[in-house]
Structure 1
Amino acid sequence: MPHSAPLPRFCGHVVEEPQLDLIRGLVARYPGLSRTELAATACELLGWLRANGKPKTVECRGFLDTLEEQQRIVLPARRQKRAKRVAVAIASEDRPAPVPIQGPLAALGSLQLQAITSAEQRRQWRALVEQHHYLGHRIPFGAHLRYLAVSAQGVVGCLQYSSPAWRLQGRDRWIGWSDAQRQERLQHVLCNSRFLILPWVQVPNLASHLLARGARQVVADWPAQYGVTPWLLETLVDSRFRGACYRAANWMALGETTGRGRDDRRHRRHGAAPKSVWLYPLHRHSRRWLRGEG
């Protein structure tokens, strides 16, 4: 790695050489640790913690991979992943066909957003999203909360909120913040990274209703889980969809992305898969707060 190469960043902060030396020392001193264990240890030693005091292990795990790509460190070999358990897939021969859920919104009866807390709920959420969402199930980047939308007639949908994009042109232009302001306050932005209405559920206005319910729910749940109050929601809608339910739920459309994605660090996929950017302010002063104006 040439000495003139710019220093890497972790969650927007420049990582100086003494911090890199500490990470190199960990790798050399503890060759038996997995990459995830190294990431957790580095977070504890460097103070890379969330507002609730928990380490940013997921983000740091990706950061270590980046350092290895840049030839700044040499990590232990990746450990073989365990095979997915059969329980994660819902396509089983003995599972009865879903009963269609149709009619007006009021006919659903009591409608709740259940936060995913148990192993059984996690299996169900992953299975539904993997089979019925066009992006499938992926481990989210950083902090996240997941919900099952449950009616009196059964599960009708799934939602996920997770860490936002570091840079998002339409969002950043709308807020009008500087790099320093974004670095300091990005944690107050959440991404609605998965939203699914199950295909056998045909209920007018359900999607926009759940988006509105989800916004209220995550404002209450996120501070309890992570110690940070969200001020703004963002999402990306694939070009094959019109985003009608987001518009009906009063989200704002702000143009398209470049199509690169979070992991395209070398700009190899510019324009490959553009998506429309949508925002939902959670307070009338959201934009001012994100700029640090009160």
Structure 2
Amino acid sequence: MSMKEKIVICGRDISEKDIETTVFIVDNFGSFSRTELAKTVCECLDWVTLADKPKVEGGVKLLEYLESIGEIVLPLKNEKMAECGRRAMKAIKITEKTDPKRELTGELSDFSPIELKLAYTQGSIELWKEYIERYHPQKYAKPYAANIKYLIKCKSKVLGCMLFSSSAWALEDRDKWIGWSEYDRSQRLMYVVNNTRFLLLPWLKINNLASHVLGKAIKQLPRDWLKEYMYEPVLLETFVNSEYKGTCYKASNWIKIGNTKGRSRQDSHHKYLSSPKDIYMYPLCKDFRKYLTGEKEPKIRVRS
């Protein structure tokens, strides 16, 4: 295949050698599923994250791109397995563990210490999912790519949940505010992290709890992300429905910089419409723009 234009997928400049290798893999391992092919492609191209895990999403996108231009023919998607997966994701069992509790009222000083506990065991993840499904307006949806889940706790009491995950692919107002070119964004989008879910349970009436939790998350998340994914983010983003005022984000010094255009977070093809939302950003360091435009290199953890 002779390349007439530059191809960038998930931050990688795709070379002719990459394409030749991918075509060879598909031709010789036709019995593999799409996911197995994507993993094999990533292994052969050394296409991995800083945590040394295959960038399967990028492998899938490369495969689908090559199929779209007629270079390869992929195996059919296993719709039966996909449907089982969709049902499993939706079938979150609601139990008495998340039943409403008595109302808690008072000042922050009455509920100390408040901590963000990582949800990483099977039990804590299932509890996190159940609270989100039961009490968050947007319900549970499988997190996109890299993510960290927190249970907000006061001793043994669960007060709420948070989710931080990979940032939205393209936001016109955000990208202008950062000063991003399309190439810069493709190379450094990973250093922006999205606060995708923030839930405080409805029976809580604790003054300033929301802004206090956001403040703790701002300090804790970079360390946890560095430990889990081998690099430290430099900027946070979140989307707030226009009917809400974003009071807790404003109180925590997040900056409203514009609006979304009414598309889903990873929709680069204008297919999936959603209601426009306000965009709030929080810089995690003073020089975040220099990191995001390549003038400085963000902090990474070297694997020992």
Q: TM-score, normalised by structure 1?
A: 0.86
Moved more, 235-244 or 67-76: 67-76
> Which amino acid is the alignment partner of residue 28 of structure 2?
R
The gaps in structure 1 that reach 5 residues or longer are none
3-state SS of 1:98 partner: coil
CA contact (8 A) 1:164 1:189 kept: yes
Q: How far apart, in 2, do the equivalents of 1:265 and 1:86 lie? A: 24
What is the Cα deviation at residue 72 of structure 1? 5.2
Q: How far apart, in 2, do the equivalents of 1:58 and 1:268 lie? A: 19
- Residue aligning to 1:283: 285
Q: How far apart, in 2, do the equivalents of 1:5 and 1:249 lie? A: 48
Moved more, 126-135 or 247-256: 126-135
> Which amino acid is the alignment partner of residue 50 of structure 1?
T
- Residue aligning to 1:135: 138
Q: How far apart, in 2, do the equivalents of 1:235 and 1:46 lie? A: 33
Pairing 1:265-276 to 2, within 5 Å after superposition: 265-268=268-271, 272-276=274-278
3-state SS of 2:218 partner: helix
CA contact (8 A) 1:59 1:142 kept: no
3-state SS of 2:163 partner: strand
Moved more, 100-109 or 44-53: 100-109
Q: How many residues align?
A: 292
CA contact (8 A) 1:58 1:141 kept: no
1:226-255 CA-to-partner distances (Å, cap 9, x unmatched) read: 111111111111223221111111100011
- Residue aligning to 1:170: 173
Moved more, 63-72 or 176-185: 63-72
CA contact (8 A) 1:111 1:152 kept: yes
Moved more, 237-246 or 74-83: 74-83
3-state SS of 2:25 partner: helix
The answer to whether the aligner puts 1:219 opposite 2:222 as a matched pair is yes
- Residue aligning to 2:50: 51
1:181-230 CA-to-partner distances (Å, cap 9, x unmatched) read: 33332222111111111222222211111111111111111111111111
Change in 2 beyond 3 A, CA 1:25/1:288: same
> Which amino acid is the alignment partner of residue 27 of structure 2?
A
Pairing 1:65-144 to 2, within 5 Å after superposition: 65=64, 68=67, 73-79=72-78, 80-81=81-82, 82=84, 89-92=92-95, 96-144=99-147
3-state SS of 1:184 partner: helix
Q: How far apart, in 2, do the equivalents of 1:93 and 1:181 lie? A: 48
3-state SS of 2:131 partner: helix
Change in 2 beyond 3 A, CA 1:36/1:181: same
What is the Cα deviation at residue 64 of structure 1? 4.2
Q: How far apart, in 2, do the equivalents of 1:167 and 1:292 lie? A: 18
Pairing 1:137-216 to 2, within 5 Å after superposition: 137-152=140-155, 154-216=157-219
Q: How far apart, in 2, do the equivalents of 1:266 and 1:85 lie? A: 27
Identity across the alignment (%): 35
Q: How far apart, in 2, do the equivalents of 1:28 and 1:202 lie? A: 61
Q: How far apart, in 2, do the equivalents of 1:71 and 1:226 lie? A: 35
Change in 2 beyond 3 A, CA 1:73/1:191: farther
Q: How far apart, in 1, do the equivalents of 2:294 and 2:241 lie? A: 31
